[in-house]
Chain A
């Protein structure tokens, strides 16, 4: 592996009721996060290829972990998202190198299809910084019931020379979604949007 991983953390959240109303079946989200060494910490490096390749590795590893944590098959996943927090000795562009060029292909391979853009967020921060991972339907970005977000954090990461990278996967939308818009039963699935 190219990635030097210090730690992997998985999270599974299950919501059973909201405002006294049962959520049936419960909505479920999972996230898998890796804490890796930032090979470019503390210096300006023009060519970020190494981080792009690490992104490809982590795309597969973290998606597998998240799907396993939910106990579902990849293609039964409904929405997804990705995010990274770069430790203080790195730059935001390092998160971009991890997330954007190569990470998505293995994610889509495991989840099947994945025509929609994988929503993402990135930041620089210290240990314990919360990451709000945006979520959207994997086959049609406009499915309104699946616009969501998942907060995760790892109290001891990222250290100054590290990057925290996370992928979130769900088998459902928001609990008690009721603000209209495109529904998952209406997905055409041609352009990744509707």
Chain B
């Protein structure tokens, strides 16, 4: 499979103190690592693309590490995660699906045994397209306080023959979470769901 060619990397960190309610003792932080790569399959239909997932694994790990570094380096503070991809207009949605395995693998590797599926989304779009990356708890998908999302995007990406890859991590629940449901303290941690 072709080499992974990186044009640009972006790291964004949001630190949220309140949203009209009481100021949190510990602000919520959301971080996103975005990388713009050349889409080796753009402009033509290729039947065999799956091998590229293996090629993306080192990049995924690098992104997960930079994300953790942006949050201070301690994997224990990460409570939520998500991933996504925006495929430039000369590519197809299926190219975005190549990110599922390497993106998820990378964050689990870095966080040491996170159990829940990594929530994800993808789309085809032009430069400046925004993506709302879904976020769920790393060990139990049903933890209601941690259902969240982070909007990401880059003004000049993806170009037609590029893919924008995204990983997101958060350090806690929504800043004023109060709609009940399963809480983080009730996680059984057996199936990645509850």
Contacts and interface: CB of A to CB of B under 8 A. Distances in A.
Contacts, number: 51
Contacts of A7: 14-17
B7 A155 contact: no
Given A7-B17, A151-B155, A12 B5 contact: no
Interface residues of B, number: 20
A42 B16 CA distance: 24
Contact of B8 (A6, A13, A128, A151): A13
Nearest to A12: B11
In terms of DSSP, what is the predominant structure of the interface of chain A? strand
Given A16-B6, A17-B5, A151-B155, A6 B12 contact: no
Smallest CB-CB A-B distances: 4 pairs: A155-B151, A151-B155, A14-B9, A8-B15
B10 interface: yes
Interface of A: 5-18, 69, 128, 130, 151, 153-155
Contacts of A15: 7-8
A10 B70 CA distance: 10
Nearest to A13: B10
A130 B9 CA distance: 19
B19 A6 contact: yes
A25 B11 CA distance: 18
A10 B16 contact: no
B11 A11 contact: yes
B9 A9 contact: no
Contacts of A130: 155
14 contacts: A5-B17, A6-B19, A7-B17, A8-B14, A8-B15, A9-B13, A9-B15, A10-B12, A10-B13, A12-B9, A13-B8, A14-B9, A16-B9, A130-B155
